[in-house]
Chains A and B, each alone.
Chain A
């Protein structure tokens, strides 16, 4: 299968900054919607907050799951994060977007949780992250490739868990969740340069831990994505 990209200029839009939000169809609308919901929720509208939960619950849960490697813990942490957010909604001043603020809360809670319970250094093939990776992969209908992928992701999950806390968190947010460096910097309270450095450092350490396995994956191109 060959992938190509095409770009369309027909519906290109450009506007001055003053009406930028109006002219940004998707992102702008989402942000505006979030702001409206937050304002309503701050005035006590629980339905509005429920709408915010529905919009962002998947991402919040995914962050917790990828950091903990456990469905139950991720569920609890996501619940607690939304509850805390609701309780602290009065202090939300809109300096950052609501999702950014929300991700920060769940990251903080998860880091504290991991510190309390100790690091999970025994990621196995039954790890939901590993199962999910194989299930989401196109290799699932190829037993040999699925097996190899399961083995690789188990090692990757273990290597990820062994990373220092800040590196692991940054990798989850940038590489797994695809958040921009700017947003991640805002979540973690560091500079974008530091985010970039942490990613670099994390790659180095992951590569060291997976050195032999990366080679075999590349050579065998097992379970290609």
Chain B
């Protein structure tokens, strides 16, 4: 069992009355060894707390004081008072727990060869030839021999299916985009992989089906060129060819003119082609946004309905950090549904892309959420959720210094705060044998947190148990430096 978990259990169970919070309970529930440890610690604590001793009779104490009194008569003031000094200060190594295991480094995106290796292994082949010597026919036939309907991926068939684009790409790619997931190699390339196949294949299929269509397309293209020429405007399909950077024009000016993300941003958004489609509509929504506007949008990107949504840039930065990249200056633009064979060729400066998306709602999570409807925030990572929750708690718990705060908590607030720990006080029940009244004096800081607590009445173990319980009370913040409440509890074994 993890030493830190042991320590947390130990801290939580300082006495039988202490309770274990929900998160720790879940961890304990999931770990048999932790459950055993908790049981043992509780048993030990109970036995230690109830470890009484025989009280000497009254005569003993009378003799004790009489004897001492005789010694005091002849006692001289001590010249050396070192015995009043503490003797067990912190020792080196005390309080140290084993270093926390570093969080697992984010797995490198699998290279293409790794993917092939995995797929081949899945198909029952332990070794995969290097990319340059991929023998798809042999592999395909072998897989077919193994099991024609095994449900496994036939890499050879996939490779053959890619044959036309393989030719068109100059043999650059060996497998179909479907088998090469986004984010496999270079970040920008990764993003465009799945769409490359689409872009390359679609016209080829059209050719085979209907050559007459080419004539119609050609006429249309010519017509568009003519119209464009007269309008002194570049043709609409020019951007899609990737022959010129889009920044020269109004960035991502139309939904139909897909923006290609280059380099780091591609990695940042390396979620696959599906992720890139939904935000593309926002590009058009924000057409014409200036770069200055974009900068503002990065800080508090206004949402579609015009409300500011601060913190968007932070979420992107988080994601960039997880990928080991430099933090992006601001939210990035998703990629286009189509891309040329190499995304590097469609060099769209990030800034322009941001201009389109930065003011359009930025966060990919939100864009996806918008696309999927109700689960607007469900795509947030747990880490982000925790950070948000912590911020909320901090906002609640930190003293605000607000002069509008009441000088002290009201009576009902005090009662509520103390009632909230009554259950934990009740848990100290094992430490009383008869109805026992204890009085808890709780010193509360202006933040509402309990600074200290002292308990009178009952046995030392009971006092300790009640003290631990009342220390958990949380009061509303108030303006005076401190506040003391004296609160009695009665532990009644008869009820």
Give the number of chain B interface residues (Cβ < 8 Å).
Answer: 93
Give the chain B neighbours of A13 by CB distance below 8 A: 485-486
Give the number of chain A interface residues (Cβ < 8 Å).
Answer: 104
Interface residues of A in 205-225 (CB under 8 A from B): 206-207, 210-211, 214, 217-218, 225
Please state if A218 and B439 are interface contacts (CB–CB under 8 Å): no
In Å, the complex CA distance between A46 and B94 comes to 42
| Known contacts A17-B482, A83-B75, A175-B45: A101-B61 contact under CB 8 Å | no
Task: Tell whether A35 is near chain B: CB-to-CB under 8 Å.
Answer: no
Please state if A17 and B429 are interface contacts (CB–CB under 8 Å): no
Give the chain B neighbours of A12 by CB distance below 8 A: 411, 414-415, 418, 485-488
Closest Cβ of chain B to A23, distance in Å, is 6
Closest Cβ of chain B to A129, distance in Å, is 6
Task: Tell whether A119 is near chain B: CB-to-CB under 8 Å.
Answer: no
Task: Tell whether B382 is near chain A: CB-to-CB under 8 Å.
Answer: no
| Known contacts A12-B414, A26-B439, A105-B83: A3-B78 contact under CB 8 Å | no
Interface residues of B in 440-495 (CB under 8 A from A): 441, 443, 452, 454-457, 459-464, 467, 480-493, 495
Closest Cβ of chain B to A191, distance in Å, is 6
Closest Cβ of chain B to A92, distance in Å, is 8
Task: Tell whether B128 is near chain A: CB-to-CB under 8 Å.
Answer: no
Task: Tell whether B137 is near chain A: CB-to-CB under 8 Å.
Answer: no
In Å, the complex CA distance between A108 and B86 comes to 7
Task: Tell whether B157 is near chain A: CB-to-CB under 8 Å.
Answer: no
Task: Tell whether A40 is near chain B: CB-to-CB under 8 Å.
Answer: no
Give the chain A neighbours of B210 by CB distance below 8 A: none
Q: Which of B33-41, B169-177, B185-193, B362-370 contacts A (4 or more CB under 8 A)?
A: B33-41
Please state if B11 and A14 are interface contacts (CB–CB under 8 Å): no
Binary CB contact string for chain A from 1 to 32 against chain B (1 if under 8 A, 0 otherwise): 11111111101111111001001111110100
Task: Tell whether B103 is near chain A: CB-to-CB under 8 Å.
Answer: no
Please state if B65 and A50 are interface contacts (CB–CB under 8 Å): yes
Please state if A109 and B484 are interface contacts (CB–CB under 8 Å): no
In Å, the complex CA distance between A129 and B50 comes to 12
A interface, by DSSP: helix, strand, loop or mixed? Answer: helix
Give the chain B neighbours of A3 by CB distance below 8 A: 426, 429-430, 432, 491-493
Task: Tell whether B89 is near chain A: CB-to-CB under 8 Å.
Answer: yes
Give the chain B neighbours of A30 by CB distance below 8 A: 456
Residue ID in chain A nearest B82 by CB atoms:
A108
Please state if B43 and A189 are interface contacts (CB–CB under 8 Å): no
In Å, the complex CA distance between A53 and B433 comes to 28
Give the chain A neighbours of B457 by CB distance below 8 A: 26
Task: Tell whether B306 is near chain A: CB-to-CB under 8 Å.
Answer: no
In Å, the complex CA distance between A137 and B41 comes to 20
Give the chain A neighbours of B455 by CB distance below 8 A: 27
Q: Within the complex, which residue of A61, A88, A137 is in contact with B78, where a contact is CB–CB below 8 Å?
A: A88
Please state if B486 and A5 are interface contacts (CB–CB under 8 Å): no
Interface residues of A in 124-170 (CB under 8 A from B): 128-129, 131-133, 135-138, 152-153, 156, 165-166, 169-170
Please state if B44 and A206 are interface contacts (CB–CB under 8 Å): yes
Give the chain B neighbours of A78 by CB distance below 8 A: 64
Give the chain B neighbours of A174 by CB distance below 8 A: 464
Q: Within the complex, which residue of A131, A136, A171 is in contact with B48, where a contact is CB–CB below 8 Å?
A: A171
Closest Cβ of chain A to B21, distance in Å, is 16
Q: Within the complex, which residue of B49, B492, B493 is in contact with A178, where a contact is CB–CB below 8 Å?
A: B49
Closest Cβ of chain A to B427, distance in Å, is 8
Q: Within the complex, which residue of A8, A101, A165 is in contact with B488, where a contact is CB–CB below 8 Å?
A: A8
Closest Cβ of chain B to A57, distance in Å, is 6
| Known contacts A156-B47, A178-B460: A214-B76 contact under CB 8 Å | no
Please state if B41 and A133 are interface contacts (CB–CB under 8 Å): no
Please state if B488 and A11 are interface contacts (CB–CB under 8 Å): yes
Number of A-B contacts (CB under 8 A): 274
Q: Which of B66-74, B254-262, B273-281, B338-346 contacts A (4 or more CB under 8 A)?
A: B66-74
Interface residues of A in 94-114 (CB under 8 A from B): 101, 104-105, 107-109, 111
In Å, the complex CA distance between A14 and B442 comes to 9
Q: Within the complex, which residue of A62, A166, A193 is in contact with B53, where a contact is CB–CB below 8 Å?
A: A62
Please state if B484 and A17 are interface contacts (CB–CB under 8 Å): yes
Residue ID in chain A nearest B94 by CB atoms:
A194
Please state if B44 and A207 are interface contacts (CB–CB under 8 Å): yes
In Å, the complex CA distance between A30 and B91 comes to 34
Q: Within the complex, which residue of A16, A27, A189, A193 is in contact with B86, where a contact is CB–CB below 8 Å?
A: A189
Give the chain A neighbours of B84 by CB distance below 8 A: 84-85, 88, 91-92, 101, 104-105, 108
Closest Cβ of chain A to B50, distance in Å, is 4
Please state if A133 and B51 are interface contacts (CB–CB under 8 Å): yes
Please state if B7 and A200 are interface contacts (CB–CB under 8 Å): yes
Please state if B489 and A5 are interface contacts (CB–CB under 8 Å): yes
Residue ID in chain A nearest B418 by CB atoms:
A7
Give the chain B neighbours of A165 by CB distance below 8 A: 88
Give the chain B neighbours of A135 by CB distance below 8 A: 52, 54
Closest Cβ of chain A to B233, distance in Å, is 71
| Known contacts A3-B432, A3-B491, A190-B89: A180-B467 contact under CB 8 Å | yes
Please state if A7 and B11 are interface contacts (CB–CB under 8 Å): no
Closest Cβ of chain A to B487, distance in Å, is 5
Please state if B464 and A188 are interface contacts (CB–CB under 8 Å): no
Closest Cβ of chain B to A163, distance in Å, is 12
Closest Cβ of chain B to A137, distance in Å, is 7
Task: Tell whether A176 is near chain B: CB-to-CB under 8 Å.
Answer: yes
Task: Tell whether B200 is near chain A: CB-to-CB under 8 Å.
Answer: no
Please state if A178 and B463 are interface contacts (CB–CB under 8 Å): yes
Residue ID in chain B nearest A8 by CB atoms:
B488
Residue ID in chain A nearest B480 by CB atoms:
A16
Q: Within the complex, which residue of B41, B76, B429, B488 is in contact with A203, where a contact is CB–CB below 8 Å?
A: B41
Please state if B47 and A7 are interface contacts (CB–CB under 8 Å): no
Give the chain B neighbours of A71 by CB distance below 8 A: 56
Task: Tell whether B323 is near chain A: CB-to-CB under 8 Å.
Answer: no
**Chain B interface (Cβ within 8 Å of chain A)?**
6-7, 10-11, 14, 37, 39-41, 43-56, 61, 64-65, 67-69, 71-73, 75-78, 81, 83-91, 94-96, 408, 411, 414-415, 418-419, 422, 425-426, 428-430, 432-433, 439, 441, 443, 452, 454-457, 459-464, 467, 480-493, 495
Q: Other than A3-B432, A188-B86, give 13 A-B pairs with Cβ distance below 8 A.
A: A5-B429, A7-B422, A8-B490, A15-B484, A16-B480, A132-B52, A175-B45, A175-B49, A179-B460, A189-B89, A191-B95, A197-B96, A203-B45
